[in-house]
Amino acid sequence: MLKVQTGQIVEFYSNSCLVLANGNNFKCKIQGRINLVVGDFVEIEPLVGADYFEALVKKRLDRSSILYKSKENVKKPIASNISHIGILVTKSPKTSLEFIDKWIAISINASIEPFIIFNKIDVLKENAFSKEQSIYKNIGIKTFEISAKLLTNLNCLEKFLAKKTTIFVGNSGSGKSTLTSAMTGKEILSKDLSNNQGVHTTSVSTLYNTGDMQLIDSPGVRDINLDHLKPNKIIFGFSEIYRFSTKCEFPNCNHINDRGCAVIEAVKNGEIEESRYNNFIILSQRK
């Protein structure tokens, strides 16, 4: 067996992980204090004489992207090397436009491409998402309309996701597990095992390799917020607002009530969607 191999973390537990390297899954212990998450590319050293594939993680390779979450000011990585974030949007449960805009801002600030999946079209009238479609197509976001349950339009989505590493985000009940199952052909079980008090939770993050595409399923993503993003970075998640902001008369314009504000002007004449502007203000003024 090769002495040192390069692979990718496909499952991550609290202090061990599963690494896919050269077609084999290695159960790995982690040497020293390397900070690792699902999606990381690593160098491993197989253990000599082990009955099955066991190895030691020696080194992490550079990440192309990383998603963080922060809790009480501690920044914690959740998953890495993601190229795309698919935001699941449904009428029931209702997805707010603020949720969509928050995830667009998180994605763009992490150098990950966001796109939108309108789900559960099987129970909706045609054009039920026309308003949302126009808001997001206008700012250059790719959109899909699917039924994860009836497998409607999944072939378009599949084509788009080829060769990409994607994570689906959405409110509870929006269809993340149904869609992941449909895409991977695997039943996705609920990964949160909690005791009766709901105090102790164990969670596993998984990267599914489905031939052409990679899907990451990480419970840690659920409660990501914008805490680790400085308010002045939020505007990069609103590219159309950023574009106008460079034309404001005063360089320190807060785009709320200032004279000569090109952003407010653009909202007034319909060049910036009102919901996008409102969510920009909410997200950049928080705390």
Ligand X SMILES: Nc1nc2c(ncn2[C@@H]2O[C@H](COP(=O)(O)OP(=O)(O)O)[C@@H](O)[C@H]2O)c(=O)[nH]1
272 binds Zn ion, rule: CB under 5 A: no
Among the residue ranges 29-37, 115-123, 215-223, 266-274, the one whose residues contact ligand X (CB under 6 A):
115-123
Q: Which is nearer to Mg ion, 176 or 255 (CB)?
A: 176
Q: What x/- string results for residues 153 through 182 when contact with Mg ion is judged by CB under 5 A? A: -----------------------xx-----
- Rounded least distance, CB 178 to Mg ion, Å: 8
| Contact with ligand X (CB under 6 A) among 1, 16, 94, 122 | 122
Handedness of CA 202, 116, 113, 263 (dihedral sign): negative
Q: Which is nearer to Zn ion, 15 or 252 (CB)?
A: 252
Contact 256, 74 (CB under 8 A): no
How far is it, in rounded angstroms, from Cα 83 to Cα 97?
Answer: 23
Residues 6+ apart with CB under 8 A from 108: 114, 236, 237, 239
How far is it, in rounded angstroms, from Cα 26 to Cα 21?
Answer: 7
261 binds Zn ion, rule: CB under 5 A: yes
- Rounded least distance, CB 176 to Mg ion, Å: 5
How far is it, in rounded angstroms, from Cα 280 to Cα 282?
Answer: 6
Residues 6+ apart with CB under 8 A from 189: none
267 binds Zn ion, rule: CB under 5 A: no
Q: Which is nearer to ligand X, 47 or 151 (CB)?
A: 151
Strands 205-210 and 201-202 come out as unpaired
**From the list Zn ion, Mg ion, ligand X, none, which binds 86 (C-beta under 5 to 8 Å, kind-based)?**
none
Q: Which is nearer to ligand X, 62 or 223 (CB)?
A: 223
| Contact with Zn ion (CB under 5 A) among 248, 267, 272, 283 | 248
178 binds ligand X, rule: CB under 6 A: yes
Ramachandran region, residue 254 (left: φ > 0; alpha: ψ -120 to 50; beta: rest): alpha
